[in-house]
Amino acid sequence: MLNPQQRTAIEYCDGPLLVLAGAGSGKTRVITEKIAHLVKRKHLSASKIAAITFTNKAAREMRERVGKLLKGADAEGLTVCTFHALGLRFLQTEHTHAGLRRGFSVLDADDSQGLIKDLAPKGIKNDALWALQNLISRAKNDGLTPEQAAERSQGAREAEAAEIYADYQKRLAAFNAVDFDDLIRLPLQLLETNEQLRAVWQERIRYLLLDEYQDTNTAQYRLVRALAGERGMFTAVGDDDQSIYAWRGANPENLAELSRDYPKLKVVKLEQNYRCGRRILRVANTLIANNSHLFEKKLWSESSEGPPIRILECRDDEHESERIAAEILHLAEKHKARWHDFAILYRGNHQSRPLEKALRIARVPYHLTGGTAFLERAEVKDLLAYLRLINNPDDDAAFLRIVNVPRREIGATSLEKLGQSAGARHQSMLRAAQHDTVLASLSARPASALAGFVQLIGELGQHAQRLPAAELVDTLITRIGYADHIAAQVSEAGARARRMENLKELADWFRAMQKEGAAGDLAAQLALLAHNDRDDPGNAVRLMTLHSAKGLEFRFVFIIGVEEGTFPHEASIEEGRLDEERRLMYVGITRAKEQLALSYARRKRRFGEIIANDPSRFLAELPEADLHWSGRDVEQDEAQRKEVASSSLAKLAALFEE
């Protein structure tokens, strides 16, 4: 059943609408029900509606929910996707306007960094390279062309970045490629400068629904404005209290921009929380009240009060981890809870190490979110790029990734010339490299290397016609000498072995798909692999950063490392970014449905030294009456200690009986 505010947000379709949706207030339901309302009550074709969110997972969930509300033809043509997916769809339709050929490539962050490294000063350090890539990305996220970035540059570093940005774009054009940021910047540039094209797309998308609006960057907001036009037929759903991505370009000021650009903007507040106990909400409201707000709101709940928020003082981070492992054992037994009901949240990934050790010793299954996903490992991406190119010789992104893996001394200048020749011939780079006239335009060494690479891919393509994918992987590793390539890159024997083991696992995945009766051809198996969700945590305690926890909820939540310098982070204190750190704490607190504990260590080892810690200033901002500090109520603490200890002892006894 909808509450009055949700119903208002769903039924208001007469102009621009901002829905301030607090944590756990049912925002996804509002968006999906509004889509159904637009189709069923307002008789707007689903093909004229676009719902935009920030992750593929959120888009998939939204699409599934809408599918249950709209049946068959009613949902036909509906767009539910991320900003970048919308941008890709735009460029695939309007590629000629963007100066791209059909079948252009989209480079990932690694491929992009490789191109920038070629253009950067020789011998550039990784930190400086990352900073350079970040400056270029920031310029694109602000919707700036290379020329505009140069005009607005402040200081030598930004001027250098703008210069490399210009060369980088020339190289992307030669390769018929775009990067991830271009998926927003190029559509924006076309819509803002081409009135006819803008009118076409405003007619194509008659109503926009925007999820997580507070996370939009400058270019994304300008894209929304270009698509919505003056009529402003959109619903933006967001929460300024959950804006935690400024470090990657998100601009919570876009909430204020919305008010200025659309004076008739209607604002609806969703303040009823369906997730948390009343005490947890009271603590969250008190904390976030220390931030300034454009729109005031206060969450409330009809749930039970819930137990006090526990503050756990620990000797050091090892003691902190051991204590939390014991607490989880106790709570799981006491409440008959499953492991996936628990989450341990922290400010940085490095804080997971002692937790993993303690949970392994306690035999508590856990899932670590935020490590490098298997399919994102460099060696796995290299082999998959080979398979993609073998399967599709027109895949320029795959070509660019592995044309020099292992190293073949085909330089950036030669690749740029090859890209220009491919563009002139309206062919992919691999197909262009098959022409003697193209190779003749290059220096002898890269021309010879390219000819050898073309021959290699042709031979592997013949193998692919008769070998299952798993055997093709084995053949590929041997044929290109990938083990020697890894040995040349990685000096440590254990790391080399792990990388080769990852490739063995890749082959095993293909074998498993064969056994499961998956389609036998390489293209089908690659597609299945790409869509395979191998990060399913199952029934395990979730370990993750506070940033990763956004959008999730758990019965029991532990937030660790709540110390000055850790949370809030030292850099945020120095740079005056406490508001965002406080919002991050607010997000963490509101992940808890039933019980919440915050812990800190009195001392920690840093750079070989033992240093003393002070509790986080955020703890002092919480309402004292809703907290229970360990160590301050000796009698209650002792009773709790015995209860937890008995659970732990029972668990240990069970282990010895196995």
Active-site residue list: 27-28, 211-212, 242, 591
Residue type, 200: V
Q: Kindly state the tokens that stand for 327.
A: 């607490």
- Whole-angstrom CA distances from 277 to 35, 286, 324, 519, 625 are 30, 15, 21, 49, 15
From first CA to last CA, the distance across the chain in angstroms is 49
Rounded CA gap, 95 and 103, in Å? 9
For residue 308, say if its preceding peptide bond is cis, omega within 30 degrees of 0. no
Rounded CA gap, 19 and 258, in Å? 12
Rounded CA gap, 307 and 35, in Å? 39
347 close to 561: Cβ distance less than 8 angstroms: yes
Which residues are within 8 A (CB) of 175 and not within 5 positions of it... i.e. 6 or more apart?
105, 396, 400, 415, 416, 419, 429
Kindly write down the DSSP assignment for every residue of 302-356, as one continuous string: SS---PPEEEEEESSHHHHHHHHHHHHHHHHHHTT--GGGEEEEESSGGGHHHHH
b vs e for 385-405, b when ≥16 Cβ sit within 10 Å of the residue's Cβ?
Answer: bbbbbbbbbebbbbbbbbbbb
Residue type, 52: I
Q: At what angle do helices 109-119 and 126-141 cross, to 10 degrees?
A: 110
Taking the CB of residue 14, how many other CB atoms lie within 10 A of it? Answer: 9
411 close to 425: Cβ distance less than 8 angstroms: no
Closest CA to 165 of 190, 148, 188, 186: 148
Rounded CA gap, 227 and 203, in Å? 9
60 by Cβ neighbours in 10 Å (0-12 / 13-18 / 19+) ranks as middle
The bridge status of strand 592-601 relative to strand 554-559 is parallel
- DSSP letter for 462, please: H
Rounded CA gap, 301 and 22, in Å? 11
Rounded CA gap, 34 and 309, in Å? 37
